[in-house]
Structure 1
Amino acid sequence: MKTNLVIKVHDKDNVAIVVNPGGLHEGDSLDDGTVLTMSAPAGHKVALMDIPCGESIIRYGEVIGTALEPIERGDCIKEAQLQLPQAPGLDELPLATRPSPSVEPLTGYTFEGFRNPDGTVGTKNVLGITTSVQCVAGVTDHVVARIKQELLPRYPNVDDVVALNHSYGCGVAINAPAAIVPIRTLQNIARNPNFGGEVMVIGLGCEKLQPSRLVADEQGEQPVRIHDTTEDAELSADTLQLQDESLTSFSEMVDSIMDMAERHLQKLDRRRRETCSLSELVVGMQCGGSDAFSGVTANPAVGYATDLIVRAGGSVMFSEVTEVRDAIHLLTPRAVDEGVGRALLREMAWYDAYLEGGKADRSANPSPGNKRGGLSNVVEKALGSIIKSGNSPIVDVLGPGERIRRKGLTFAATPASDFVCGTLQLAAGMNLQVFTTGRGTPYGLPMAPVIKMSTNSTLGRRWHDLIDIDAGRIATGEASIEDIGWELFHLILDVASGRKQVAADRLGLHNDLVLFNPAPVT
C-alpha cells in the first residue's frame, strides 16, 4: 500500500509539502484526513485547511503570502494564488536580543592542511594566476594549458594551476565608490589560503586597473594577516605586463610567464600537508537550484554541521542577500552585539537601494527552476535558505569582497547568483565550500573543493556521480538531520585533508569567476 508522505515544518503551518517522488494525485488521503482535490508534484504545497481569500499562507511558522482567492483544503497551491508580503522593515528590528546558546565546545578535531606564511591554512595547493584585465584572458588560458602539460608534472605536490580570469579591469569607472567591490575582490582572491601566498598577476599595460594595485591592500599597503596576530603576512608576488617593450613577440610573453610560474611552482611544491586544528577551516555555505526540500533536508543538515564547526572553533560564512532579506527579522536577534546587528541591516539596505536603482525588486527571485521545485516566492525561499546558518551567534558581517576577520559564524554579503556568490566567498577566504541543490547543478570551483549535497533522493539517485551527499534521506525518514549533519561534518574534514575528492574535482567541472561590479561601465 502506498504511503502518502508530506512534511509540515511548524505547528502553525497550514500547508505541507509533498514528499512522494511521483507526487500525489487527486483523491489521495493524508494522515490528518486531508484529501487531495487535485494532483500535487513532489515538493509542492498542499493546503491542510480551507484558506479564505486574504488569509495568510504559513510555512516554517511564518507568513509566506496571502491568498488571492479562496483555497480549499487539499488544493495544490500555485504561485499565482499567493500575494507577496511586504519585506520586513529595517528600522525597528531587534538587535542582539537573543542570548548565545549554551553549547559544549567540540575538541580534538583536526584536518591535514597546508600552513601558509600569513597564518591561514589551505585545503588545496594551487598556483593561481591573477589577471588585471579581461584582455589577457586568452594568453593566460594558453599559458595555463602549457604549464599543466610541461611544468606541472615536475611538481607532484602542486594540485593544479588556474587562471583567475574575469571581465573587469578596463572600460570601467575605476574611481567610482562602488568600484572598490570588484577591486578588493580580486585583491583578496589572490590571497585565498589555497594559493599559498604565491601571487602572479598578468596585465596588459594600458588598463585602468594596474597589476600593482592587485598586490596591495585597499590602502595601497602590503596585506596583513586576517586572524588574531600582529605579524605581517608574507606575500610572494610577481607582475608582468604584456605591453612591456622588452617582450618582442608572443613567444617571449609566454616564455616570461612560464619562467615566472616555475619559480612559484618550486615554492608551492615544498608545501606539505600537516595536522591542523579544525579552527583553521573557513567553510562557505551556499545553495543553488533550490527546491522546497532545501529548507527541510539539506539546509537544516548544513546548519547542524555549521554549529559543529563553530563549536570546534572554526569559521563558517553564509551569504546571498536576496535570500536572507525576507528572513532578516530571524537573524538580527542572533547578532553577537548591536554593531553586528546594524551591519546586517546596512547590507540589507544597501541591496534594497541597489535593486531599486536597477528598477528591479526582490520578486525577480526565485528562478523558474525554483518554482518548478515547489518554491512559490522569495519569502519561502529565504526562510529555507537561512537555515544553513544553524543556530550559532553571528559574529561579523562582511561587505562584498571583504576578507574574513573573526572565527565563528559570519554573514558575507553577496548576490544570490551561484557564480558571483562563490567568487565573493573565495575572496573572503573560504578554503572549502558546501553547496546544496534540489534541481541539480554541476557547479564547481577549481580553487576550492565544493561538496555537493542533494535535497531530495530523486536527484541524488539520478545524479549519483555528481552528488557527494544525499540529504533526501531525511525526507523519507531513512536518516535524521543530525545524522546527515554529522556525515557532512566528517566529509568536510576528509575533503579538507585530501583523503576524499569531491565529484566536481574528480570530473573537472569548474565554473568561471564572476565579479560583482555595481559600479558604472564607461
Structure 2
Amino acid sequence: MTHVTTNSRVIQVHPSDNVAIVIEHGGLEAGVTINDECTTTMPIPQGHKVALKPIAENDSIVRYGEVIGTALVAIERGAHVNENNVQLPTAPALEELPLATRQPPEQAPLEGYTFEGFRNPDGSVGTKNVLGITTSVQCVAGTVEYVVGRIKRELLPRFPNVDDVVGLNHSYGCGVAINAPAAVVPIRTLKNIALNPNFGNEIMVIGLGCEKLQPSTLLEDRPVKIYENTEAADPDANVLSLQDESFEGFGDMVEGILAMAERHLERLNQRQRETCPASELVVGMQCGGSDAFSGVTANPAVGFATDLIVRAGGSVMFSEVTEVRDAIHLLTPRAIDREVGQALIDQMAWYDDYLMQGQADRSANPSPGNKKGGLSNVVEKALGSVIKSGNSPIVDVIGPGERLRRKGLTFAATPASDFICGTLQLAAGMNLQVFTTGRGTPYGLAMVPVLKVATNSYLAKRWHDIIDLDAGRIATGEASIEGLGWELFHLILDIASGRKQASADRLGIHNDLVLFNPAPVT
C-alpha cells in the first residue's frame, strides 16, 4: 500500500482516494489550505476525513484505494466526511471471492535472530514462567483470588525463577448447556489455555465438585491427579475440589491449595531461560481503541514486523472476524491453497449467521470512541485492521479456542472484543501479544507480555508510562513503516527474553479472561 502525504496537514493513503485524514493535533479550522485545489470548509478534528474533491450523493467514498461507503448527501470539496454522511456498503459476497490466487511475495529467510525463553518438554517455548491456577466453575473464583494473594505474599518470594501466579477465573462451568454443539468453543478454550507454553505444564485446577464442567475435562490430555487432604498427598496432584469431604472449613481448603501450589512452584523454579531461535515466537496481533491512524501508522508497522517473524520461521496470528469481514476479499487471494481460502470463508459465514441469530449485524461495530477517532464505519475499520497481517501467505485458519497447527501466518477466528480475542489467542498458544491503540486502553494480560503500540504521538506522550512504542512518528515523517517494523521486531525479542518489561506488566495492569460462549445458558 502506497502512502502519499500531500503535506504536513493530511495523509492520503492511496492515489485513488478522494478523502484524506487530518494529521494535526487539534484538527484543522475552516479556511485551511490543504493543497492547490482544496481548502477546508468547516472544522475537521484530528484523524477525521476531509473530502479532497466533490463527492456527489450516492458516489463512492474511497480510502486505502477501496470503497468504504457511499455519500448519503452531496459532499463538497474540503468538507468533513464522517459517519453522518457515509452509508455502509454491502459486505463482500462470500460465494464470489477468489481463493489462493495471489502468488506470495519472495521473502528471504531471516536467520540468526534469537530470544531467551523457557523451553518446555513438548518443544514449545514460554516467554514467562507462570504458575497458572485455572477453575472449572465460576463458583470457586473468589477462593482462587484469595489463595493467589496468599501465594504471592507467602510462597512466591521463595521461588525467584517464577515470574507470577495467575488465577484463570472465568464465568463458565455450570448453569450452561454443556452438551450443546456450540459449547465446544468455551470448553476447548479452557482446555487449551491450560496448555499455554508460559505455564510450563504445571497447571493446577480448582473445582467445586458438583459443576457440569468437571476438572478432569480440562486436563483430559494429561494425567489427572486428585489432591487428598492427607499426610501422604500425591506430590504431583493437580486437581483439588472444595467439596472434598476431607476439608473441614475454608481454612482447610486454602491450606490444601497452598500445599499443592508449593510443589508446582518448586518444579517451575527449576526452569531457566535459554537461547531459542525466533522461530519459537508465537505472537498474537490485536487492535483496540482504534482510530483513523491505526491503518496508516501502527498497523502497517505491525504488518511489517509480522512478515519479519514469518521470515524468521515464527508464528503470527491475526483475528477479529467482524474487523476482517469487510476486507475478506483482500485476504482469500493470499491463502496458501484453496482449502485455507475456503476455511476463511467458512469462518466469515459462521459469524454472519451468529450475528443474525442474535438479531445484530456488522453495523454494531465500530464503537463511539472509534468514531470519535475518525473511523466512520466497520468497512474503514476492517481495511485498517487487516494491515496487521502484513503480506505473508495465510497458511491456516483456526476456529475460536483451537490451538495453532502451523508456523507462519494464521487467521485465528475470534470476536473483535479485546478481552475475548485475547483469551482465545491465549488458547491458541501465543507467548506474546502486540496490541495497537489510537484512543488508548490500559489492557493487559497476566499470562503473556502485551506490548502496546500507539497509533499517534499525542496518545504516546499523554500515556507515556502505558505505551511501549510510538508509531505516530510515521504520520509526522519522523520514522518509516519499515523502520518502525524493525524497531518493533527487536522490541518483541527483548520483551520475550525478559530483557525489557512491557508497560502493562511493569504496572501490574491485567484484564480478566472472557470466554466466548455462543451456546445457550440454562
TM-score higher than 0.5 here? yes
Deviation at 1:145, TM superposition (A): 0.4
Give the structure-2-normalised TM-score: 0.96
Matched, 1:61 2:65: yes
Distance 1:413 1:32 in 2: 45
Distance 1:362 1:395 in 2: 26
**C-alpha contact (below 8 Å) 2:82/2:375 kept by paired residues:** no
> What code does the residue aligned with 2:376 have?
S
> What code does the residue aligned with 2:395 have?
V
Corresponding residue for residue 452 of structure 1: 452
Corresponding residue for residue 273 of structure 1: 273
Deviation at 1:222, TM superposition (A): 7.0
Corresponding residue for residue 301 of structure 2: 301
Deviation at 1:351, TM superposition (A): 0.3
Corresponding residue for residue 32 of structure 2: 28
> What code does the residue aligned with 1:488 have?
L
Corresponding residue for residue 71 of structure 1: 75
Render the CA deviation track for 1:306-341: whole Å, top value 9, x for unaligned.
000000000000000000000000000000001100
**C-alpha contact (below 8 Å) 1:287/1:436 kept by paired residues:** yes
> What code does the residue aligned with 2:217 have?
R
**C-alpha contact (below 8 Å) 1:47/1:73 kept by paired residues:** yes
Render the CA deviation track for 1:450-483: whole Å, top value 9, x for unaligned.
0000000000000011100000000000000011
> What code does the residue aligned with 2:49 have?
K
Deviation at 1:31, TM superposition (A): 2.5
Deviation at 1:441, TM superposition (A): 0.1
**C-alpha contact (below 8 Å) 2:8/2:476 kept by paired residues:** no
Distance 2:91 2:70 in 1: 13
Matched, 1:330 2:334: no
Deviation at 1:247, TM superposition (A): 1.1
Deviation at 1:201, TM superposition (A): 0.3
Distance 2:220 2:303 in 1: 35
Give the structure-1-normalised TM-score: 0.96
Distance 1:400 1:134 in 2: 21
**C-alpha contact (below 8 Å) 2:298/2:453 kept by paired residues:** yes
Shifted more, 469-478 versus 29-38: the winner is 29-38
Q: Secondary structure at the match of 1:40?
A: coil
Corresponding residue for residue 251 of structure 1: 251
Corresponding residue for residue 177 of structure 1: 181
Residues paired across the two proteins, number: 505
| Structure 2: runs of 5+ lacking an equivalent | 1-6, 225-235
**C-alpha contact (below 8 Å) 1:198/1:237 kept by paired residues:** no
Corresponding residue for residue 480 of structure 1: 480
Distance 1:521 1:83 in 2: 36
Distance 2:32 2:105 in 1: 42
Matched, 1:378 2:368: no
Matched, 1:398 2:398: yes
Q: 1:32 to 1:303 in 2, by over 3 A?
A: farther
Shifted more, 109-118 versus 26-35: the winner is 26-35
**C-alpha contact (below 8 Å) 1:395/1:410 kept by paired residues:** yes
Matches within 5 A, 1:345-494: 345-494=345-494
Render the CA deviation track for 1:345-383: whole Å, top value 9, x for unaligned.
010000000000000000000000000000000000000
> What code does the residue aligned with 2:330 have?
L
Distance 2:10 2:74 in 1: 22
Distance 2:165 2:186 in 1: 22
**C-alpha contact (below 8 Å) 1:185/1:402 kept by paired residues:** yes
Shifted more, 24-33 versus 406-415: the winner is 24-33
**C-alpha contact (below 8 Å) 2:188/2:402 kept by paired residues:** yes
State which of 164, 187, 190 in structure 2 corresponds to 1:186.
190
Corresponding residue for residue 229 of structure 1: none
Matched, 1:13 2:31: no
Render the CA deviation track for 1:264-283: whole Å, top value 9, x for unaligned.
00000000000001000100
Corresponding residue for residue 103 of structure 2: 99
Shifted more, 195-204 versus 237-246: the winner is 237-246
Render the CA deviation track for 1:81-102: whole Å, top value 9, x for unaligned.
1110000011020000001211
**C-alpha contact (below 8 Å) 1:185/1:424 kept by paired residues:** yes
Distance 1:296 1:242 in 2: 52
Distance 1:424 1:43 in 2: 30
Distance 1:78 1:25 in 2: 16
Distance 1:207 1:126 in 2: 26
Deviation at 1:199, TM superposition (A): 1.4
Q: Secondary structure at the match of 2:515?
A: coil
Q: Secondary structure at the match of 2:117?
A: strand
Render the CA deviation track for 1:377-430: whole Å, top value 9, x for unaligned.
000000000000000000000100000010000000000000000000000000
Corresponding residue for residue 287 of structure 1: 287
**C-alpha contact (below 8 Å) 2:120/2:126 kept by paired residues:** yes
After superposing on structure 2, the runs of 4+ consecutive aligned residues of structure 1 that deviate more than 4 Å are none
> What code does the residue aligned with 2:11 have?
I
Q: Secondary structure at the match of 1:191?
A: coil
Q: CA RMSD in A?
A: 1.1
Corresponding residue for residue 47 of structure 1: 51
**C-alpha contact (below 8 Å) 2:19/2:49 kept by paired residues:** yes
